[in-house]
């Protein structure tokens, strides 16, 4: 059996990848994908802990995290399309009208 | 595994305000698409009518002391939750009234605006009742989704789109931090309900988990160092949305913060007091100093809002029942003063299409009523007696004195002086400078209602605060076992009023 | 699953999957390799140009798609994710009785309203 710590280490790696992606990448789509990585790291954690505790709560959280992620993508794409129409770009550095 | 799923009539009663609002927002959306030629102002008044019903229901809950928990303690109705729900619904009513004129400027999707405002309000009502970390995550996201769209609502305005994008990126980033923090706390305790995760030992997972959750909630309330979205989002968003965003989500987030710190983390108070003191000092100082340099009234109010959040965090740092009372009371004063100030900004913005402070020159000549109301709201935000903001600050400082947080109080007092400066600059422009265009300004009836409500609240809470104090003291009774000398005294008599 | 199981035995149970992946990869690589080795090679400009249904290629294939696709994709994602809640409900459907049924009807009712809204607002029209 794979020990619990393996899952936790995997999830930490995925989470840190996501955080670094949000902080250093400039393309909004990549930033959105990085946030999805962060949420997926959460899901790995929850499923692993849920199995470890033999407790269903963690799996319930995963269902909701997936739903929230999908809704985030829908809203995010809508905002990105609105911006693309006026700016023809999806690079965060282009948006300097308001001071960042 | 066995479980039962039963919902009795008494359980459904606890959900009644939320169910009413859900039905009502469906009605508003249906009327919007089923009757395309219905004037959209009607939808605003329809929404207000529905919210008034919800408000009446909540007042009944409060008076009758109805409470309980649902869904394995995920959803709780107690005095604290009812207080925050009344706070949120009241804010929403005033914001919708203040939006009527502004929404006429939209070219598309006027009806959906009211639907989204109601939906965010519903999400925040659930936030006020969130009693475990799963419901914290869902309700926080639920309320924020509405705001993402509302902030970017002016589709042809690049500033609004940009504001929406910045709010969205930082919002989903905070959601990721929140979810991961919750997963770590779950990994340490195997539980998610606030009262169950009161663990006696601080393991690394628990510490990092709660820090991540605090970061996400700090983003929500806009405390330094999680404030970077606030000025741009406030500046670019439609002004009524800015007003809504500056008050209601903060109240809802404080409902969660109070439950988290006072229930789950009560055992670790010495550790988190330092964290909160730091966040409070940084927020007050940063907000007030940067506000001085602002030329746009929305940005000024954004930075002043960061500073006000710093003030409220003093109450949280006190960590006593009295600190909780003071947070609730301060939020009430902040609601009336800040919403009132934003109502003036909306009214003036609708008439002269500008939010620059320069354009407030000679406002007294153009509309003495607007200038006087703005004066009252700004002085209340600054904390001048006998207005509400003074009592709010006094209450917070008294709670901090009981806990011996003298550094925090000293920084708070210095900050009051700094904030006085930039509020008075606006007042000077309104009263002393000459207007460039002396034509008189008139405001519409719904806007007048909002301004009068703000004035009434600000003056009433300042001159006769006792009823409101009794209310907030009753709302936090469940925390009376928290350590601290204030817990022994159930009522507070303040030197002014009463 | 037992905790004392040796790692090799544990991995051994996945051997057939590894074998399957290996065969699948080999099939693809070998087919391409054989065709590359035995094909006659007489390259010319016309043959090297991309084939686009017989007509001349006229622009870069990486062009922005009409925004309509995004709206459909968004609607699809939202209605697709709804199923995530139907699965657990279906598993315990017979144990949670009438309350469960009514709750699911309320849930689907709200989705239906969103669908009718999208329909009435013309989000489902192609033009």
The enclosing domain of A39 has a CATH number of 1.10.287.3510
Contact A73 C84 (CB under 8 A): no
Q: Which of A2, A70, A81 sits opposite C78 (nearest CB)?
A: A70
Whether residue B468 contacts residue B395, with contact meaning beta carbons closer than 8 Å, is answered with no
C chain contacts of residue B29, beta-carbon cutoff 8 Å: 113, 117
Residue A47: inside a domain, yes or no? yes
Q: Which of B3, B30, B33 sits opposite C121 (nearest CB)?
A: B33
- Chain A interface, Cβ < 8 Å to B: 8, 11, 15, 18-19, 22, 28, 31-32, 35, 38-39, 41-42, 45-46, 49, 53, 55-58, 60-61, 64-65, 68, 71-72, 75-76, 78-80, 82-83, 86-87, 92, 95, 97-100
Q: Please name the residues in contact with B160: beta carbons below 8 A apart, sequence gap of 6 or more.
A: B151, B152, B153, B154, B236, B237, B238
Alpha-carbon span C10 to A1, nearest angstrom: 7
Q: Provide the CATH number for the domain formed by C7-120 in this structure.
A: 1.20.58.1610
Residue A97: inside a domain, yes or no? no
3-state secondary structure B382-397: HCCCCCHHHHHHHHHH
Q: Does position B152 have pLDDT exceeding 80, yes or no?
A: yes
**Arithmetic mean of pLDDT, B367-382:** 92
Alpha-carbon span A39 to A28, nearest angstrom: 17
**Arithmetic mean of pLDDT, C92-101:** 83
- pLDDT given at position B497: 37
- pLDDT given at position B355: 86
Q: Is the peptide bond before B187 cis (omega within 30 degrees of 0)?
A: no
- pLDDT given at position B142: 92
**Arithmetic mean of pLDDT, B446-472:** 90
B chain contacts of residue C113, beta-carbon cutoff 8 Å: 26, 29-30
How close A97 comes to chain B (CA, Å)? 7
DSSP C63: P
How close B263 comes to chain A (CA, Å)? 20
Contact A38 B155 (CB under 8 A): no
- Structural domain boundaries of chain B? 268-498
Alpha-carbon span B273 to B318, nearest angstrom: 7
- pLDDT given at position B489: 38
Q: How many residues does chain C have?
A: 127
C chain contacts of residue A67, beta-carbon cutoff 8 Å: 81, 84-85
A chain contacts of residue C123, beta-carbon cutoff 8 Å: none
* pLDDT confidence tier of residue B54, bands split at 50, 70 and 90: very high
Q: Does position A96 have pLDDT exceeding 70, yes or no?
A: no
Whether residue C3 contacts residue A52, with contact meaning beta carbons closer than 8 Å, is answered with no
Among chain A residues, the shortest Cα distance to C83 is held by A67
* pLDDT confidence tier of residue B337, bands split at 50, 70 and 90: very high
Q: Which token pair is B96?
A: 């919708």
Residue A100: inside a domain, yes or no? no
* pLDDT confidence tier of residue B250, bands split at 50, 70 and 90: very high
- pLDDT given at position C83: 86
Q: Which token pair is C100?
A: 């469960």
C55 strand-pairing partners? C52
pLDDT single digits (tens) B133-142:
999 999 999 9
Q: Exposed e or buried b for every residue in B338-352, given b needs 16+ CB within 10 A?
A: bbbbbbbbbbbbbbb
Scanning C78-117 for CB atoms below 8 A from B yields 95-97, 99-100, 110, 113, 116-117
Report which of B49, B54, B57 is spatially closest to residue B28, judged by C-alpha positions. B49
pLDDT single digits (tens) B233-249:
999 899 999 999 999 99
Cα dihedral A21, A26, A30, A33 sign: positive
3-state secondary structure B9-41: HHHHHHCHHHHHHHHHHHHHHHHHHHCCCCCHH
Q: Is the peptide bond before B168 cis (omega within 30 degrees of 0)?
A: no
Whether residue B213 contacts residue B186, with contact meaning beta carbons closer than 8 Å, is answered with no
Q: Return the residue in B175, B187, B238 with the most chain A beta carbons within 10 A, the one to mutate for interface testing.
A: B187
* pLDDT confidence tier of residue B492, bands split at 50, 70 and 90: very low
What percent of chain A has pLDDT above 70? Answer: 86
Query: Which of B84-88, B446-450, C81-85 shows the lowest per-residue confidence on average (mean pLDDT)?
Result: C81-85
Q: Please, is B44 exposed, middle or buried when counting C-beta atoms within 10 Å of its C-beta (0-12, 13-18, 19+)?
A: buried
Q: Return the residue in C77, C113, C118 with the most chain B beta carbons within 10 A, the one to mutate for interface testing.
A: C113
Query: Which of B366-380, C7-21, C53-67 shows the lowest per-residue confidence on average (mean pLDDT)?
Result: C53-67
C chain contacts of residue B3, beta-carbon cutoff 8 Å: 95
- pLDDT given at position C76: 84
Locus of tokens 């690079």: A91
Higher pLDDT, B2 or C75: C75
Residue A78: inside a domain, yes or no? yes
- pLDDT given at position A16: 93
Q: Which token pair is B26?
A: 């469906």
Q: Does position B498 have pLDDT exceeding 60, yes or no?
A: no
Contact A70 C1 (CB under 8 A): no
A chain contacts of residue B148, beta-carbon cutoff 8 Å: 75-76, 79
Q: Which token pair is B112?
A: 């959906």
| Residue C41 contacts B, CB cutoff 8 Å | no
**Arithmetic mean of pLDDT, B61-79:** 86
**Arithmetic mean of pLDDT, B58-65:** 88
* pLDDT confidence tier of residue C5, bands split at 50, 70 and 90: low
Higher pLDDT, B301 or B41: B301
* pLDDT confidence tier of residue B3, bands split at 50, 70 and 90: low
Among chain B residues, the shortest Cα distance to A21 is held by B173
Query: Which of A93-97, B31-35, B330-334 shows the lowest per-residue confidence on average (mean pLDDT)?
Result: A93-97
């Amino acid at each position: 059996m794979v020990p619990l710590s393996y899952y936790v280490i995997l999830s930490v790696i995925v989470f840190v990848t996501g955080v670094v992606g949000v902080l250093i990448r400039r393309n909004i789509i990549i930033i959105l994908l990085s946030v999805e990585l962060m949420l997926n790291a959460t899901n790995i954690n929850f499923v692993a802990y849920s199995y470890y505790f033999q407790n269903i709560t963690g799996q319930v959280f995963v269902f909701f995290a997936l739903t929230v992620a999908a809704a985030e993508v829908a809203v995010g794409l809508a905002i990105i399309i609105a911006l693309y129409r006026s700016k023809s770009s999806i690079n965060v550095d282009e948006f300097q009208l308001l001071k960042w | 595994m066995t479980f039962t799923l039963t919902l009795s009539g008494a359980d459904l009663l606890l959900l009644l305000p939320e169910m009413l609002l859900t039905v009502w927002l469906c009605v508003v959306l249906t009327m919007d698409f089923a009757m395309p030629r219905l004037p959209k102002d009607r939808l605003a008044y329809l929404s207000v009518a529905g919210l008034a019903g919800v408000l009446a229901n909540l007042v009944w809950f409060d008076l009758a002391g109805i409470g309980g928990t649902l869904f394995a303690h995920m959803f709780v109705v107690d005095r604290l939750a009812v207080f925050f729900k009344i706070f949120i619904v009241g804010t929403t009513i005033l914001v919708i009234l203040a939006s009527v004129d502004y929404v006429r400027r939209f070219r598309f999707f006027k009806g959906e605006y009211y639907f989204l405002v109601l939906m965010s309000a519903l999400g925040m009502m659930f936030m006020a009742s969130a009693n475990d970390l799963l419901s914290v995550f869902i309700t926080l996201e639920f309320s924020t989704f509405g705001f993402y769209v509302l902030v970017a609502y002016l589709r042809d305005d690049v500033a609004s789109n940009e504001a929406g994008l910045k709010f969205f990126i930082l919002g989903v980033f905070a959601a990721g931090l929140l979810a991961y923090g919750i997963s770590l706390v779950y990994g340490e305790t195997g539980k998610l309900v606030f009262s169950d995760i009161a663990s006696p030992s601080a393991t690394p997972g628990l510490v990092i988990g709660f820090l991540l959750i605090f970061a996400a909630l700090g983003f929500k309330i806009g405390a330094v160092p999680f404030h970077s979205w606030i000025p741009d989002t406030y500046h670019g968003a439609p002004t009524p949305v800015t007003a809504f965003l500056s008050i209601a989500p903060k109240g809802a987030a404080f409902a969660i913060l109070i439950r988290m710190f006072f229930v789950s983390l009560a055992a670790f108070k010495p550790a988190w007091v330092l964290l909160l003191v730091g966040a409070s000092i940084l927020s007050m100082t940063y907000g007030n100093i940067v506000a001085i340099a602002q030329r746009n009234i929305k940005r000024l109010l954004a930075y002043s809002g960061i500073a006000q959040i710093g003030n409220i965090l003093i109450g949280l740092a006190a960590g006593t029942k009295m600190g909780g009372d003071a947070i609730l009371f301060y939020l009430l004063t902040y609601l009336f003063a800040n919403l009132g100030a934003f109502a003036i900004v909306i009214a003036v913005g609708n008439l002269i299409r500008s939010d620059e402070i320069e354009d407030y020159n000679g406002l007294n000549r153009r509309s003495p009523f607007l200038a006087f109301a703005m004066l009252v709201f700004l002085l209340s935000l600054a904390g001048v007696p006998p207005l509400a903001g003074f009592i709010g600050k006094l209450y917070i400082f008294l709670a901090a004195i009981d806990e011996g947080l003298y550094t925090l109080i000293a920084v708070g007092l210095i900050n009051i002086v700094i904030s006085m400066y930039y509020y008075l600059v606006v007042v000077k422009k309104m009263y002393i400078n000459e207007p460039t265009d002396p034509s008189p300004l008139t405001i519409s009836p719904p806007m007048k209602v909002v301004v009068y409500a703000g004035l009434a609240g600000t003056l009433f809470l300042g001159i006769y605060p006792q009823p409101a104090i009794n209310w907030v003291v009753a709302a936090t009774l469940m925390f009376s076992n928290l350590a601290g000398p204030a817990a022994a005294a159930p009522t507070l008599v303040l030197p002014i009023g009463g | 699953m037992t905790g004392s199981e040796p790692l090799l035995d544990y991995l051994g149970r996945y051997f057939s999957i590894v074998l399957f992946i290996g065969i699948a990869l080999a099939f693809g690589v070998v087919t391409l390799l054989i065709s590359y080795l035995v094909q006659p090679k007489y390259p010319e400009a016309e043959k090297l140009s991309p084939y686009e249904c017989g007509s001349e290629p006229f622009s870069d294939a990486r062009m922005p798609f009409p925004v309509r696709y995004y709206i459909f994709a968004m609607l699809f994602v939202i209605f697709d994710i709804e199923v995530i809640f139907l699965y657990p409900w279906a598993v315990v459907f017979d144990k949670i009785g009438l309350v469960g049924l009514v709750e699911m009807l309320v849930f689907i009712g709200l989705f239906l309203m969103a669908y009718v809204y999208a329909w009435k607002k013309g989000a489902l029209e192609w033009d």
